[in-house]
Chain A
Amino acid sequence: MSPIQLAVDALSLGGQFALIALGIGLIFGVMRMINFAHGDLITFGAYALVVPSAADMAVPFVGAWSAWFLIPSTLGIVMLATLAGERVAFRPLRRRHADGTSLLISSFAVGYLIQSVILFVHTGRPKSVSIFPGLTRHLEIASVRVSLIDVVTILVTIALLLVVLTFLRFTRAGLHLRAASEDFSMAKLLGVRADRVIFVAFGISGLLAGVVSLLYVAKTGVLDSRMGVPLAIAGFVGTVIGGMGNLAGAVAGGLFLGIASTLLQALLPEALRPARDAFVYGLVIVILLVRPGGLFVPRNAAVRI
């Protein structure tokens, strides 16, 4: 495999993981909760593309619409589902001052609920659906073939990260969100409204999940009720190696994980490739042993009390 191909693959996967890690990191920041339902919300968005049915052949639903309707509809559906989850499963617990463990369990429940409903409606058989068929083409760059969807994934990731980072940096809501991610009670003292800042975090997280739904399905064309689970784990690991609660770290952590996966896939001896994830997550353990606070935590942050 040429280095250019490898770089495109690595950045495409890393970008996807970065979007997922940012989605999980935003919610962790304000809630101190790991939202394991994040992956299943990605699944939910993917299934919204087809007509709900138990039939083997998937009939496109949202997926049949033109891109101008398909993209905002899917993003809107996933954002609404994410916000509904917050309203129904997390806010009542928060109001009763439930601890992080209860919230975590609640997020598992939301995730399994989504999976079970999809299993019930669509059956457990994987389905195939094609959106944006034009993107499955290959591009010839300097006599190297790269797939268009990977290039698009990289560009979309960069654009979306810029939008989210601009929002976080330059708007009042963004500043409130970052402040609340560090010290919620101090932020509240300075006038930050808890419900609003959490609403914003879930909204952006849902938007990011929806984008991943589209990118993932456009690339693989496959729907599966458990497809979001490994994605959520990758995103979660990305936030951990980036340093929990550190948004830029989450992005970097997700990117790192995707790049490491792709490189190991390409560079490991053939016989060891099936064990790639063992190497990836072994590396994660080593990183956490050396830097328990995450790769991108400033050194002085650890000693402050």
Chain B
Amino acid sequence: MPEALSTRAVGVRFQGLAALDRVDLTLPRGEIVGLLGPNGAGKTTLVNVLSGFQRPDAGQVLLDDHSLERAGPESLARRGVARTFQSVRLFDRLTVTENAEMGALVHGGSRTRARAVARQAIAFTGLESVADRLAGSLPYALERRVGIARALAQHPRFLLLDEPAAGMHDAECLDLVALIRRIPDAFECGVLLIEHNMSVVMATCASLHVLASGRTLATGPVDHVRNDPAVIDAYLGAA
């Protein structure tokens, strides 16, 4: 069995409404999977379930076949599931390096070790020139990159990126695509990419998982999914 982070028939209800309904998603280590769907389809809820922020009402979350019953976000972070946030949530008054150090410190260890790990993550994400700036002083696109650097400093086995390209213009998106594509090999990790920007998704992902109204509409290799009539009808056609 390959290493993977996955859900089995996961359901989440908010006040009686199904936000997620019997969703099976598999994120294999070393691959990039795109998570698509119209607004309100349940994408962020699914990422919250995968990262322990949201306990599912039904079904299971599995980390390499181990059920993550009652595991909270801190526990999942220690076990190698890192995520970024739509709202980024950097520590604005820490420097870029210190933000990445906070990621490295999730596994304990000394400040010296954390700094070395942080430097690698910063070099990988191309943030050397702003390494000593306060995170809160950076333009938006760079902030999102720092969020990725902090998550990578956790040395995750699975990385969940929640709309990393939001608010970026085309050139920044291209840089981001190049960055994300290098992650699986460099960090031996699986990447789940939630993204509205179709060109970013098509340029990075080998397979897609499409949600609509909390249910899986289609899943599989990109070419297969993009030609699925249900997907074209519900999402791609409208885009």
Contacts and interface: CB of A to CB of B under 8 A. Distances in A.
Interface of A: 170-172, 175-176, 178-179, 182-183, 186-191, 246, 298, 300-301, 304-305
B91 A191 contact: no
Contacts of A298: 134, 136-137
B105 interface: yes
A175 B98 contact: yes
25 contacts: A170-B111, A171-B111, A172-B105, A172-B110, A175-B102, A176-B105, A178-B91, A182-B93, A183-B89, A186-B89, A188-B74, A189-B73, A189-B77, A190-B102, A190-B105, A191-B74, A191-B77, A191-B105, A191-B107, A298-B134, A298-B136, A298-B137, A300-B137, A304-B92, A304-B136
Interface residues of B, number: 25
B31 to A, nearest CB: 25
Nearest to A176: B105
Given A190-B106, A300-B136, 7 more contacts: A175-B102, A178-B98, A183-B89, A190-B77, A191-B105, A298-B137, A304-B136
Contacts of A175: 94, 98, 101-102, 105, 111
Contacts of A301: 92, 136
A272 B103 CA distance: 55
A305 B108 CA distance: 30
Interface string B155-195: 00000000000000000000000000000000000000000
Interface in B32-75: 73-74
Contacts of A172: 105, 110-111, 114
Interface string B108-119: 101100100000
Nearest to B73: A189
A183 B147 CA distance: 14
Interface of B: 73-74, 77-78, 87, 89, 91-94, 98, 101-103, 105-108, 110-111, 114, 134, 136-137, 154
Chain B contact residues: helix, strand, loop or mixed = helix
B103 A190 contact: yes
A191 to B, nearest CB: 4
A87 to B, nearest CB: 23
B73 to A, nearest CB: 5
B111 A178 contact: no
A189 B110 CA distance: 18
Contact of B93 (A178, A189, A190, A305): A178
Contacts of B134: 298
Nearest to A171: B111
B78 A191 contact: yes
Contacts of B87: 305
A161 B35 CA distance: 49
Contacts of A190: 77, 102-103, 105-106, 154
Contacts of A305: 87
A189 B92 contact: no
B146 to A, nearest CB: 13
A305 B87 CA distance: 8
A183 B98 CA distance: 14
A188 B89 CA distance: 13
A37 to B, nearest CB: 26
Nearest to B52: A189
A182 B94 contact: yes
A183 B108 CA distance: 19
